[in-house]
Structure 1
Amino acid sequence: MLKKIFFAAALLLASELIAKPVVIASIAPVEYLANAVGGDKIEVQSLAKGDVHSYEPKPNDMKAVAKASLFIAAGLEFEEAWIPRFKASAKNLVVVKSDAKIAKLKEERGEQAEHDEKHEAHADPHVWLNPMLAITMARNISDALIDMDKANKDFYLENFQKLMNDLLAFDESAKESLAGLKNRKFVVYHPAWGYFAAHYDLEQISIERSGKEPKIDEMASTLKMIKDENIKVIFADPNRSQKSAQILASQTGAKVELLDPLGYNLLENLKIAVGAIKDANSPK
């Protein structure tokens, strides 16, 4: 009898010690997509917080990656430098590109950069801010999870279907909300909303130029545009400097509001963006 009890206890302990697969996402919105698809079958965390363009892993990040089975990339610049090192520290790490099969836009870099023949064009990585492209990313994540854990294929597919339906429902609502706007321009500090703008027939105007604070003449041209277009709201990025946005607001009477392209809850973040842009561009 004691042997049976001991054996049952040992089996219970062993099952508890079997850890869930660790999945590392490069950024929080991709973590959200992975959690939505993977549910309680996986353990997910993201790496880059704040300004992802200057991200370098901390020791704790490297420890987390070393335990991971899957790394979900999003097409960001830092991934090119660090993924080979991640794979070296985790021999069995599988890397999936969540942005696979997505045609990239050219990142807005400012007028000077556009006319500089030596300037290298950069692909805009912010594909998750278009809900249709977020669905593609989620499908790529679902495929990767199924490859890693075929026993739970139906679970992952069901979760993906629910997430897709939620994003499709949001998209229909967003199109209705934004359809009647006459002024379809919105001003942002960092040009992260290009895919979002293109999808909803909006025009994103960036304060930042070539990844840097604007020069005096660039500020002057943006200032004139804000006045000419009667722009009432300037959207700043909470992950970046808000100095230029505040200066422009003080000289035009516009107000500064925050839009976070890297917020974890992607669906809620997109809803906030639609509401904010609609409110900013609706007649008062």
Structure 2
Amino acid sequence: MKSWTKTILGIGVSCSLLGAALAGYGFATGGLSDLENSTDIVGNVNYQKANLDSFSKIDIDSTTSDVIISKANIDKPFISYSDNKKTPVNYEIKDDTLTVKQTGTRTQLGNANIHFLSLRDIIDIAKTGIIENSHTIVISVPQDTDLTSVKANLSSGDLDISQLSLDTATLKLLAGELTLTNTTLNSGTVNITSGDAEIENSNLANIAFSITTGDIDLENSQASDTTFELSMGDFSANAANFKNDNTITMTTGEVDITLASKDLKVLMTNLLGDADITSNLNQSSKNTLTIDGNVGDITVQ
């Protein structure tokens, strides 16, 4: 490498390190707070937010938006969304049901959605690690709301449900990820054509999961009388409880489970792949996990 090239490279690396150090110092000394309070930060997305009358059911149909449904420390339910003529959002409350419909498509370049980092995004990363895109519908209800049912049909977008206890859920995602956090589902179906399901600190009962391409991950969660069917993807679980009769059916993919309780009987078939099942299970337990695998390793510890 020529000496002048080394010099320029050294200057570039030094400047990068100096910039990172200054940025860290700025955030540590209150720069983040100053940025948040700055009147110079102007969003280029016009968001609509409306308070709502009470309801106990949600029925949402969306072509392109991500959807977040959660409880919050608020007095009245509300809905918020971006006011974009190309992806309009309409909603109404009728017969105790909030019905939301988002239509249209996003402006695209090729097959990719382009999102440039803004100053607000940098603040969000520093605070939460999350960038909220401009195509998100948020539905929040007060903590004391008895929300019993959610029906969601998303063509392209993620669905995030947290802090809810539902009698029934019917969730269908064509291309997007499902996240359940601190949530109880007592019956229903989950169908994902392409996308993962991430479930944390949640309880599932009488749920039928079906994923064509994608993974399922359970973290500190419980499943009861639930079926998981994956065509191409992995099933993983950590600190998981399986109560009553549960079934995992895999076409191509691995199963990796770490149990919170060994009070479980495992029944397994596997055509091609290794199996490692702990010997500490209670084979006379009334709780049964049936694993039917075709191609892939199976581990239960």
Compute the TM-score of the two structures, normalised by the length of structure 2.
0.24
More helix by share: 1
Higher relative contact order (CA 8 A, sep 6+): 1
Task: Please say which structure displays the higher CA radius of gyration.
Answer: 2
What's the TM-score, normalizing by structure 1? 0.25
